[in-house]
Structure 1
Amino acid sequence: MDTRELRVCAAVALSVLDLTNLKDDCTAKDIDDLCAKAFTGFGNTAAICIWPRFIAQARNILGADSLVKIATVVNFPSGDLEVAEVVAETQKAITDGADEIDLVIPYRKLIGGDEGAVSEMVRAVRAVIKAPVILKVILETGELKDMALIRTASSLAIAEGADFIKTSTGKVAVNATLEAADIMLQAIRDSGKNVGFKPAGGISTVKDARLYFRHVNAIMGEDWLMPSTFRFGASGLLNDILAVLSGEKSSEPTSDY
């Protein structure tokens, strides 16, 4: 990849990045820093992705009409909460100022054969989310493992109104992979619906990002790489993006693929 192509890739990656801090020890100061980092000399990230307890703080910092959206997580990371509890989490998050809800499906129940539990969860959360707030559904593909099961999870989420389907929480051993991306993108394409895709976890370099961009271009077309249909969930990727855009050398792809 030549320098110009790498810089173009970095610029696109910046525009579709959900800059994330979901560390267990995240502090209010970390959120202040994250909000500041979302605005760079080369443009802004698409969103920040944070724990629900920090939404009000981030909204106060960013303001009501920020170019950077606030994403948060519900039923996270276990996917094991009761539907009513997750609905309540979602409603509070929206009241506090969240623009985007990243919902973990009950993936363990799906592994056990209970497809209905996934449909019920997504349907219930979708019912309390009104535009312009959007719903991203996390499949936890590294735990599903089986490609047929990833396809099933994708189709169930899409059928119940997901605005995006997302690979991972970033909290398990295997997170985003190109193999899972293939299955999920094909499910979106075959559905005929306007649903986005978000790989998350283990994506830390512009060269990593380029691998996903190639898959998206091949399956969905080159006009699909925009914040309304594609996001990266990452914490460290911004550092490499800024290095590339500043004329420094990009790191090599990570070993997570």
Structure 2
Amino acid sequence: MCEVNVNQFLESTYLKTPKQAGITQEETKKIVEKLIIEAVNNKFKLVMIRPNYVSMAKEMVDSLNSYTLVGTVIGFHEGTYSTNEKLEEAKKAIEDNADELDFVANYEAFKAGKINLVKSEIFQCTKIVLDNNKVAKWIIEIAALTNEEIAGITQLIRNVVLDNFGEEKAANVFVKSSTGFFKTENNKPNGATFEGMEIIIENAKPLPTKAAGGVKNFKDALKMVEMGVKRIGTSSALAIADGNIAKDSY
């Protein structure tokens, strides 16, 4: 059995706004720049940042002759943005040359039974991404859902993708566990769990999956990969790659 290169599954992530982190815009920019350099030096699969840093990130990655991809978030982090708002954000990210776009699905609408609204958003937003030869990921926020709802919304995404774009495009549309920003009670996990990812993997096939949040160390990252997860989103990619335990919550 060949050794797994976990670095090639890691998406090094920083998504806090200056206000959320209690720091200045300039300090935030420096954190993002450091993240990009770390990702390139360690050959991480992707760097995941807010939309306003996509152009800068792309320029830095290109100037360093790196294959590290640049990803960003759309409709973040609540997911309740209208489809049109998500499409506008997506257009801007595509214009700025983002490689991958992680949309927060309107899981609240799904929970409320507004299935057609969710289907429409998945179709329209996935279409603009695939039409521009990019990768789409759909964040379903598993901490806000029951196991049955996790299975249900995952199946919905899979069916919309397969019915409208075919299995040949399935590899470019992921189902992703979490934003890392959802507030849970009693310190319950707000990100990927092994149980949650098993449900997503089983119901997403043949769509790939991304475990975001909650992966704290190399051992857990390796287990996720062995389960079939194709990407791991973490703000502690360097710690995981170095065999240390992540200190950040995401």
Deviation at 1:131, TM superposition (A): 4.8
Give the equivalent residue in structure 2 for 1:187. Answer: 203
Q: Give, in whole Å, the separation in 2 of the partners of 1:205 and 1:95.
A: 35
- Amino acid in structure 1 at the alignment position of 2:219: K
- Amino acid in structure 2 at the alignment position of 1:45: F
Deviation at 1:81, TM superposition (A): 0.6
Q: 1:21 aligns with which of 14, 21, 24?
A: 14
Secondary structure at 1:44 match in 2? coil
- Amino acid in structure 2 at the alignment position of 1:180: G
Give the equivalent residue in structure 1 for 2:69. Answer: 69
Deviation at 1:102, TM superposition (A): 0.2
Cα deviations by residue, 1:177-212 (Å, 9 ceiling, x for unpaired) = 1111111111133xxx3x211000121210221332
Give the equivalent residue in structure 1 for 2:213. Answer: 201
Correspondence 1:166 to 2:176: yes
Correspondence 1:178 to 2:194: yes
Deviation at 1:71, TM superposition (A): 0.6
Correspondence 1:94 to 2:90: no
Judge conservation of contact 2:40–2:61 (CA < 8 Å) in 1: no
Give the equivalent residue in structure 2 for 1:44. Answer: 43
Q: Give, in whole Å, the separation in 1 of the partners of 2:88 and 2:66.
A: 25
Q: Give the unaligned 5+ runs of structure 2.
A: 19-24, 162-169, 185-189
Deviation at 1:137, TM superposition (A): 0.6
Judge conservation of contact 1:154–1:187 (CA < 8 Å) in 2: yes
Deviation at 1:158, TM superposition (A): 1.5
What is the correspondence of 1:13-162 to structure 2 with a 5 Å cutoff? 13-25=6-18, 27-40=28-41, 43-63=42-62, 66-129=66-129, 130-144=131-145, 146-161=146-161
Q: Give, in whole Å, the separation in 1 of the partners of 2:9 and 2:240.
A: 14
Q: Give, in whole Å, the separation in 2 of the partners of 1:131 and 1:86.
A: 16
Give the equivalent residue in structure 1 for 2:235. Answer: 235
Deviation at 1:89, TM superposition (A): 0.3
Q: Give, in whole Å, the separation in 2 of the partners of 1:67 and 1:209.
A: 21
- Amino acid in structure 2 at the alignment position of 1:55: V
Judge conservation of contact 1:206–1:237 (CA < 8 Å) in 2: no
Cα deviations by residue, 1:111-143 (Å, 9 ceiling, x for unpaired) = 112222221111111121125311011011110
RMSD of aligned residue pairs (Cα, Å)? 2.2
Deviating beyond 3 angstroms after TM superposition, the runs of 4 or more aligned structure 1 residues are none
Residues 25-34 or 53-62, more deviating: 25-34
* Percent identity for Structure 1 against Structure 2: 26
Judge conservation of contact 2:45–2:69 (CA < 8 Å) in 1: yes
Cα deviations by residue, 1:90-129 (Å, 9 ceiling, x for unpaired) = 0000001100000011111111122222211111111211
Q: Give, in whole Å, the separation in 2 of the partners of 1:60 and 1:168.
A: 28
Question: Structure 1 residues 131, 66: closer, same or farther in 2, change over 3 A?
Answer: farther
Q: Give the unaligned 5+ runs of structure 1.
A: 217-224, 245-249
Q: Give, in whole Å, the separation in 2 of the partners of 1:213 and 1:33.
A: 26
Q: Give, in whole Å, the separation in 2 of the partners of 1:56 and 1:176.
A: 29
Judge conservation of contact 1:17–1:45 (CA < 8 Å) in 2: yes
Secondary structure at 1:88 match in 2? helix
Aligned residues: 221
Judge conservation of contact 1:49–1:70 (CA < 8 Å) in 2: yes
Give the equivalent residue in structure 1 for 2:166. Answer: none
Secondary structure at 1:102 match in 2? strand
Question: Structure 1 residues 237, 34: closer, same or farther in 2, change over 3 A?
Answer: closer
Q: Give, in whole Å, the separation in 2 of the partners of 1:178 and 1:117.
A: 29
TM-score, structure 2 as length reference: 0.82
Q: Give, in whole Å, the separation in 2 of the partners of 1:206 and 1:198.
A: 16
Secondary structure at 1:169 match in 2? coil
